[in-house]
């Protein structure tokens, strides 16, 4: 046996606090009502705040996928 398989966790979240939590603990984000050109303006602060705390979760050490 080679160990536990890594199963990525993706979260569909909306709202600043939910997006922040997703950026902190999940492997990926499935955004709702998402326009890529508006992402930095609308979700940038929440993604940055959650991303700053990703180090607390070793499984979430990789960048968040969207």
Which pLDDT belongs to residue 66? 73
Confidence of residue 60 (pLDDT cuts 50, 70, 90): low
CA-CA distance, 51 to 21, in Å (whole number)? 9
Would you kindly state where each structural domain of the chain is located, as residue ranges?
10-60
Q: Which tens digit of pLDDT belongs to each residue from 6-50?
A: 888 999 999 999 999 999 989 899 988 888 899 889 989 998 999
Q: What stretches of 1-66 show up as alpha helix (H) in DSSP?
A: 16-25, 39-51
Supply the pTM of this predicted model.
0.77
Is 13 exposed, middle or buried, given 0-12, 13-18 or 19+ CB atoms closer than 10 A?
A: buried
């Amino acid at each position: 046996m080679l160990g536990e398989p890594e199963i990525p966790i993706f979260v569909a979240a909306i709202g600043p606090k939910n997006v922040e939590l997703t950026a902190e603990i999940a492997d990926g984000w499935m955004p709702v009502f998402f326009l890529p050109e508006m992402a930095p303006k609308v979700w940038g602060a929440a993604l940055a705040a959650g991303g700053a705390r990703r180090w607390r979760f070793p499984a979430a050490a990789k960048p968040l996928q969207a």
